[in-house]
A and B are shown apart, each in its own frame.
Chain A
Amino acid sequence: MILKILDLSIDFGGVKALQQVTFNVKEGQIKAVIGPNGAGKTTLFNLITGIFPPSSGGIHFDDVKIDSLKSHKIAELGVTRTFQNLEIFDNMTVLENVMVGRHLRSKSGFFESAVRSESTKREEREIIESSLDYLDFVGLSMRANDMSASLPLGFQRYLEIARALASEPRLILLDEPAAGLDEKETEDLMGLIRKIRDKDITVLLVEHNMGLTMEISDEIVVLDHGELIAEGTPREIQYNKKVIEAYLGEDDVST
């Protein structure tokens, strides 16, 4: 088990966003978290990556308790993520964005950087080369020198993935990677997610696109109103009564 989530709860001023959520993620699998809007999926990601601490419960990564650690410490251990509402560094080029992803894999400090020591220069070359490799991996290398803000939305999602991969994580969290993508792009994305898994990186994703989720996930957990209502293989989930009800409920509201 690479990630263990036990009785995780959080409330925001009385609103229970997550209640007693418990599940595990096995090393090397692709696991999806699904659920209607407001189910607490992104909140779950925010808790795992230390953006805010849970009210109670525990998160263990590789048997290390991470629920009271800060984001950058969790990243150091090997957990990184992308964002549903893209968090691209839009004042930088595409390549520079990925270079920030290499932060954990390099160590020049202020002094070495200011005087441009030999080791810094060497490290800088290494950062550029490996960042280009990651851009290549997601198929963005031809846009390396463009300003990141000029990329279309789909490419920005890929850029976030490249940036996250550049830190060489063991677990990557993808927050709605297919949001806003068309069918062809979604197809490509599935290929990319499999390629990530093939690099021995565990993938946990939040996704609204059922087709994609059902097709690539090894396992799925379903959240509804902050509670875990089902866990299992895509097939099990598809026929789960509670899940169908939860989604029907959502349809009632939205149509």
Chain B
Amino acid sequence: MQMPDKKKYFNRNFLYVGTLIATVILIPYFLRNDYYLHVLILIGLHAIIVLGLNLLMGYAGQISLGHAAFYGLGAYTSGILTVVYGFHPVIAALIALLFVGIIAYVVGVPSLKLKGHYLAMATLGFGIIAGIIFNEMKFTASHLDLPMGGPEGITDIPKLYLIKYNLNIDQILSLKLSDITGVSQVVPNLYAFNIVLDNDLKYYYLVWTFTIVILILSSNIINSRVGRALRALHTSETAASTLGVDIQKYKVSVFVISALFASIAGSLYAHFIASVGPSSFGFHKSIMLVVMVVVGGMASIWGSIFGAAVITLLPEVLHVFEDFDIIIYGLILMLILIFLPEGLTRGVIDRVKGRFFK
């Protein structure tokens, strides 16, 4: 009895992941300006969300038309906690993660009892309510000149840092060393120990580290006991449940996980852009995320990265068309569904294979 494809699967996956890592490391050396880096960071962030959404939609067969809300909740929580309450960004992001997890659970439990259109509507409704709340809520704090929130959103979000001392030796010893030594330049400064992600290149590497780790985690989930349970309930909830799969538990779990991924992306986004506004997390964004999944290919981990890249790049490329862009957007969406319903990645591969290897 020969062992099945498992070995081959892992070898191939290592190759793919290795290639991706190498590409991610090397790309910045070929870029001429920061604008491209900016776009690459956005692609990485979108890929994180799309990976989660693909677990939910592509593998478990559920639908969410409100995922931008989780992205927004992550971003807003990070922004508010750091700006209004002065939290450390990492602590803020962790609290955001917990908060989003709880919200996703509370929304997921009743929603995932619904199927098909009804589930689509419930998640859509949730997404729109969240969008309206983003647009309406206001925050005041003594150190802020004006209340924050509302249509302008949260601004002045600090850059992400791990360690940031705003002190130097002078202040710690509460005396002026320069007065004693007479030489101001040699004053030791603890800024040297700071870890602040203050430029786009550092941030690019940080975001893509997250993307790759989440890609590996997702891929592991798919090819495991829980992944099989998800794929099984996608095809037949009845059969899966008579084999002992607790359908509701698995659906809610994968919904929460996909929301957590979105929350991570949201927190990273907030510290990258330095401001979060309601328009970035509305219905339109939720749809775009679904489109990324579809374009990349349902039930395709690698397609998620591809879909995120294509749809993120598209508006940048279409920029030359100015107001035409959403026409082309809609057109591409329809064409893909009519001609390549498996998504671009698999659709194109299948066509090429069909043509040459049959």
What are the residues of chain B within 8 A of A120 when measuring CB–CB? 224-225
Chain A interface residue count: which class? 35 or more
Contact with B along A114-148 (1 / 0, CB 8 A): 11100010011001100010001000010011000
Q: How far apart are A152's CB and chain B's nearest CB, in angstroms?
A: 19
Given contacts A76-B244, A114-B217, contact A87 B228 (CB under 8 A): no
Q: Which of A28-36, A102-110, A235-243 interfaces with chain B?
A: A102-110
- Minimum CB–CB distance from B108 to chain A (whole Å) comes to 14
Question: Contact mask B208-249 → A, CB, 8 Å, 1/0?
Answer: 000000000110110011111101101110111111111100
Which B residues lie within 8 Å of A217 (CB)?
none
Q: Are B244 and A103 in contact (CB under 8 A)?
A: yes
B241 touches A70 (CB 8 A): yes
B243 with A100: CB separation less than 8 A = yes
Chain A residues with Cβ below 8 Å from B1 are 132, 136, 141
A170 CB–B CB distance under 8 Å: no
Interface string of B84-116 (1 = CB under 8 A from A): 000000000000000000000000000000000
Report which of A99, A100, A127, A128 forms a contact with B245, defined as CB distance below 8 A. A100
**B353 interface contact, C-beta 8 A:** no
Asked whether A124 lies within 8 Å of B225 as measured between CB atoms, the reply is yes
Q: Which of B227, B232, B245, B246 contacts A113 (CB 8 A)?
A: B227
From A87, A100, A101, A106, residue with most partner B Cβ within 10 Å? A100
Instruction: Among A101, A113, A163, point to the contact of B224 (Cβ < 8 A).
Output: A113
Given contacts A90-B235, A110-B253, A114-B221, A96 and B241 within 8 Å (CB-CB): no
Are B236's CB and A87's CB within 8 A? yes
The prevalent SS among residues of A at the interface is helix
How far, in whole Å, are A161 and B206 apart by their CA atoms in the complex?
A: 49
Interface code A223-246, partner B: CB below 8 Å = 1, 0 otherwise?
000000000000000000000000
How far is A51 from B231 in the complex, measured between Cα atoms in Å?
19
User: Assuming A115-B220, A132-B1, is B241 touching A71 (CB within 8 A)?
Assistant: yes
- B245 touching A114 by the CB < 8 A rule? no
Q: B355 at the A/B interface (Cβ < 8 Å)?
A: no
| Residues of A with C-beta under 8 A to B247 | 72
Query: Chain A 55-80, CB within 8 Å of chain B: the 1/0 string?
Result: 00000000000000011101110001
Contacts of A75 in B (CB 8 A): 241-244
CB neighbours (8 Å) of B228 from chain A are 92, 96, 99-100, 103
On whether the beta carbons of B220 and A113 are closer than 8 Å, the reply is yes
Give A78 to B57 CA distance when docked, in angstroms: 31
Given the known interface contacts A113-B220, A113-B221, A120-B224, the answer about A103 and B229 at a Cβ–Cβ threshold of 8 Å is yes
Sample (19) of A-B pairs whose CB atoms are under 8 Å apart: A74-B242, A75-B244, A87-B238, A89-B239, A91-B234, A91-B235, A95-B4, A99-B228, A103-B243, A103-B245, A104-B243, A104-B244, A110-B226, A113-B221, A114-B220, A116-B224, A124-B224, A141-B1, A167-B244
Given A72-B245, A87-B238, 18 more pairs with CB closer than 8 A: A50-B241, A70-B246, A71-B238, A72-B241, A74-B242, A75-B242, A81-B242, A88-B236, A89-B231, A91-B234, A93-B4, A110-B221, A110-B253, A116-B220, A116-B224, A127-B225, A128-B3, A136-B1
